[in-house]
Structures are given as structure tokens and as C-alpha cells.
């Protein structure tokens, strides 16, 4: 199955030097859930991350794929993976939107370039390159130049994933078609498109390319997204929380 293949890659990359890889993966798939996209390094978890992870374990979560949005989070997810080995699996990636609040802006190549050596430094620890991708939301990417710069950063990180033989964990808001086309053009074979909201026809192009799609609890409230999910083959669907952002109740 495609979904199992992608998750196997996540787990394998983190455990490839350990003899218990097959045992760990089999038990994860047989006895619980995998959160394929969460933000454990987010500021919201600064005070209670240990409690959050304990509650996740008690709820039946067996593994979490922890993505980053900026380079300031890289060391945080590595530390979490060392503190919770076999439970937290780290990814490195530069999100298409950088900064926060009034300083939020479309990513630029200079947001990525100083941190490229970290991908090589931690290549044995990370299980995917993410969160990367495109966000063409009009009020964030207002100009063609900004969108082109996003594509440049995205392509660079896709190339890194190929060099390191890693899957990609991908953001595609308001840019689903361009995101999938770009990955296909670069020969990407293992990709997870998180919280996908593109057209069903575009999703099918991703399915044909072998990509997987993950959805958070918040989408259960929208019939349009439910229709999209029903059209994607089950073997191409993964689960995510996108925590702390997209739970059923954002205030919990």
C-alpha cells in the first residue's frame, strides 16, 4: 500500500541502523495511530509538551512526524526525537510563509540558504523534508515575483530530499496544481500533501504520481472537503493533526 510505504520510509530512515526496525513498524501499524504532520516545536507547546505527548500516547498515538516551519525549530525537533526515541520522528523544512503576525511574509531564498548545512548535519536523524511547499494565498503572495521565489525555495528543498533519499511533507494552499506539477517535474516519488484542499481532479494527478494525502480533524466540519476525501483511494490517505492549528476545536 502507498500509505504504508511512505510511513515505512519515515520509520526506516529514523531506525535504519537498529535491528528492531521491523518490530517497531509492525507494532505501530497494528496497535495505534500515526500523526503524519504535527508542529511539536510550536510556541504553544513550550510549557506543556511533555503532557501533550503523554496524552497522545494514552489516546493510542504510536508515532508523531514532527515538521518544522523555520530553521529556528530544527534543533527543537531533534531534541524531542532524542528525548522520545521511537515516538517523535523529526523533519526539517522551511515553510513557504515566514515570520509571524505583522512580519509574516512569503519565503525568500535567503530564509533557506544559511541553514542548508543543517540538512547534511542531521541527515541520519530526519525522516523527511518538511514542511515545505507553496502558499499562493493572495494576501501573502501578492506578486508574481513572490510566487516565483516560493517556487525557487520549494525546488531547492525538493532537490535536497532527492539527495538525501527522503520523502517530502508538503504544504499546498491555493497552489495545489503548481505544487503537484513541480514535484512531478522533479521526479519526486514519495510525497505527503498535508491538509490538501485542491480540486479532486488535481488530487487524482497526485494519486497517479504515487503521492499520499493527510487530513486533520478540522476538515470533518466541511462537506466540500469530505467529498474530496471520499474520492481519494484509502491507501493514499494518512491522518494528521497539524497540531496545534487544526483540531476540531482550535481552543483546545
Mean pLDDT, range 217-240, rounded to an integer: 90
Find out whether 95 is annotated in a ligand binding site: no
Find out whether 223 is annotated in a ligand binding site: no
Please choose, from the candidates 40, 30, 53, the residue with its C-alpha nearest in 3D space to the C-alpha of residue 91. 40
Structural domain including 28 reads: 2-239
Provide the number of structural domains found in the chain.
Answer: 1
Position 102 scores a pLDDT of 76
Find out whether 105 is annotated in a ligand binding site: no
Is residue 9 in some structural domain? Answer: yes
Q: Which residues have C-beta within 8 Å of that of residue 202, sequence separation ≥ 6?
A: 176, 177, 180
Is residue 157 in some structural domain? Answer: yes
Is residue 248 in some structural domain? Answer: no
Find out whether 171 is annotated in a ligand binding site: yes
Alpha carbons 133 and 123: distance in angstroms, whole number: 20
36-68 residue pLDDT tens: 999 999 989 989 999 999 999 999 999 999 999
Position 245 scores a pLDDT of 77
Q: Which of 10-19, 86-95, 215-224 has the highest mean pLDDT?
A: 86-95
Is residue 159 in some structural domain? Answer: yes
Written as nine digits, the cell of 62 is 504510536
Is residue 147 in some structural domain? Answer: yes
Is residue 219 in some structural domain? Answer: yes
Instruction: Tell me the whole-structure pTM to 2 decimals.
Output: 0.86
Alpha carbons 106 and 104: distance in angstroms, whole number: 7
78-128 residue pLDDT tens: 999 999 999 999 999 999 999 877 788 999 999 999 999 999 999 999 999
Alpha carbons 155 and 205: distance in angstroms, whole number: 19
Find out whether 251 is annotated in a ligand binding site: no
Task: Report whether pLDDT(3) > 90.
Answer: no
User: What is the separation of C-alpha 128 from the centre of its chain, rounded to a whole number of angstroms?
Assistant: 8
Residue 113: give its domain's CATH number: 3.20.20.140
Position 207 scores a pLDDT of 98
Find out whether 37 is annotated in a ligand binding site: yes
Is residue 56 in some structural domain? Answer: yes
Amino acid at each position: 500500500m502507498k500509505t504504508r510505504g511512505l510511513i515505512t520510509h519515515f520509520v526506516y530512515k529514523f531506525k535504519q541502523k537498529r535491528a528492531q526496525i521491523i518490530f517497531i513498524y509492525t507494532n505501530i501499524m497494528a496497535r495505534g495511530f500515526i500523526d503524519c504532520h504535527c508542529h511539536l516545536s510550536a510556541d504553544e507547546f513550550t510549557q506543556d509538551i511533555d503532557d501533550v505527548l503523554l496524552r497522545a500516547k494514552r489516546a493510542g498515538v504510536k508515532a508523531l512526524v514532527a515538521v518544522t516551519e523555520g530553521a529556528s525549530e530544527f534543533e527543537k525537533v531533534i531534541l524531542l526525537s532524542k528525548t522520545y526515541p521511537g515516538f517523535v520522528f523529526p523533519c526539517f523544512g522551511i515553510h513557504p510563509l515566514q515570520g509571524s503576525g505583522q512580519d509574516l511574509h512569503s519565503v525568500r531564498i535567503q530564509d533557506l540558504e544559511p541553514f542548508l548545512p543543517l540538512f547534511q548535519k542531521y541527515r541520519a536523524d530526519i525522516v523527511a523534508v518538511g514542511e515545505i511547499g507553496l502558499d499562493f494565498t493572495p494576501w501573502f503572495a501578492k506578486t508574481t515575483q513572490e510566487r516565483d521565489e516560493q517556487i525557487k525555495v520549494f525546488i531547492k528543498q525538493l532537490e535536497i530530499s532527492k539527495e538525501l533519499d527522503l520523502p517530502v511533507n508538503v504544504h499546498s494552499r491555493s497552489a495545489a496544481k503548481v505544487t503537484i506539477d513541480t514535484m512531478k517535474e522533479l521526479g519526486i516519488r514519495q510525497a505527503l500533501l498535508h491538509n490538501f484542499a485542491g480540486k479532486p481532479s488535481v488530487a487524482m494527478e497526485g494519486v497517479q504520481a504515487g503521492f499520499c494525502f493527510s487530513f486533520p480533524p478540522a476538515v470533518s466540519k466541511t462537506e466540500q472537503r469530505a467529498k474530496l476525501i471520499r474520492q481519494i483511494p484509502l491507501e493514499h490517505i494518512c491522518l494528521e493533526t497539524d497540531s496545534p492549528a487544526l483540531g476540531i476545536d482550535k481552543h483546545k
